[in-house]
Amino acid sequence: MRTRYLAALPFAALIFLVLLGLLAGRGGSLTADLLPDTFRLSNGMDVVVISDHRAPVVTHMVWYEVGAADETPGTTGIAHFLEHLMFKGTDKIEPGQFSRIVARNGGQDNAFTHYDFTAYFQVIAKDRLSLVMEMEADRMSNLKLTDAEVLPERDVVLEELRMRIENDPAAELQSEMNAALYGGHPYGRDIIGHKAEIAALGTGDALDFYNRFYTPNNATLIVAGDVTADELKPLAEKYYGGIAERAPTFMRKRTQIVSPAEDKRVTRRDPRVDEATWIRFYPAPGYAGAGAEKGAALDVLGQILGGGTTSRLYRALVMEQGVATAVSAWYEGSRLDGGKFGFYALPQVGGGLEAVETAVEGEVARLLEEGVSDEEIERAKTVIVAGAVYARDNQRTMAYAYGEGLMTGMSTAEIHEWPDRVREVTKEDVLEAARSILAGTHSVTGELLPGGRS
């Protein structure tokens, strides 16, 4: 089953941890075969080639620099809706046949929508690379849509909203929290869009969005696997180079994020909830806005505070005080305009959220006052690397890491250098980063409770 809606993952920093894993096990240093080659086609399409010759397989991805945060008022959900419709066919490919053709050739395909981008990919044998390039280029320029395909798919999206948001009390809580955290900025609404606005979307809306944004000068091609830049360039020129620019390169003009002027609290009671949940979000810069040093320090801070059973919060709340059964903290920096730092905890059976909240605040205050130890910071770095080693052989994850980084304001060089930035983080860096987002700033706290709706 294709997953077409990509929520903003709470552990978005994983993409950079993946790169740490890719480098771990290779002596911890960059090697030439991991450095991507880049070039640009005459129509403005950027190309990134990540060579990995261990198996005759490639991951082919096309990233469009447009996402849910770029929608105009009244048409929320159109970015995700068009992602669905991109599988409806062209003159060459019948509706619904794209994925079937990929599967018949031994491959897998998928697509996902984010606030800052939309992406499509296929994983397939190297000798079928030209096939998927031809197909992807075809739907970049020749998508055919009619009401017969569009309107039933709109019902599919509405059902997806019901299943993923309306039928999930935790998702509803986080939706309200994001609205409180980001205010009028588009990050404050769900990627999937507002229900009433989705229901009003039609074929014309989809085609207008497609023609404005799905143009080669607004796209990046990333191919990872058993291919070199010399091999890929003529293929890219053949299949993508001849596609004309249908619209000017998109220049974003978004409203600025305005952080909460006071602490806010969102409480939901729901009969479907069995266990209470406590969540807190603090505004934080994204990786691009934070800069390499601070972004890496925030990743390390998240690991020290709540990154597993050796973290401060787990030891204090679960092992020592016994007020929680689970607790975590994380930094979400993979957003173009601004991220967040989050906390999550489940109280002990029979316990209340007040005790959990007090304990978390106590540990945060202690860190802000005392800082962190050399042992903690070294352990955090080690855990970050060890936890991502498994991903070093996954070319799809590697391609995603570069794609998401590039779409959210980073360069290929900055993505490559991220492991080094993490290794260079000091305890002073962590304390400075912690104080910048956790001291004197206002948070949004969420409480999910059993009981009647509120």
In contact, 425 and 300? CB cutoff 8 Å: yes
Classify residue 321 as exposed, middle or buried by CB count within 10 Å of its CB (0-12, 13-18, 19+).
middle
* CA quadruple 259, 172, 277, 4: dihedral sign: negative
| Tokens 């994001």 -> residue | 178
- Sheet with 37-40, strands from edge to edge, namely 37-40, 46-51, 219-225, 57-64, 118-125, 108-113
CA-CA-CA-CA dihedral for 191, 256, 436, 68, to nearest 10: 10
Q: How far is CA 189 from CA 7, 64, 77, 178, in A?
A: 11, 20, 10, 7
Please tell me the distance from the alpha carbon of residue 416 to that of residue 431, in angstroms, as a whole number.
25
275 is catalytic: no
| Candidate list 71, 83, 136, 447, residue with the active-site label | 83
Give yes or no for a contact between 61 and 121, defined as CB atoms under 8 angstroms apart: yes
Edge-to-edge strand list for the sheet holding 444-450: 264-270, 444-450, 277-284, 339-347, 324-332
Q: Would you say 311 and 304 are in contact if contact means Cβ atoms under 8 Å apart?
A: yes
The percent helix, strand, coil of the chain (3-state, each to 5) is: 50, 20, 35
Task: Return the active site residues.
Answer: 83
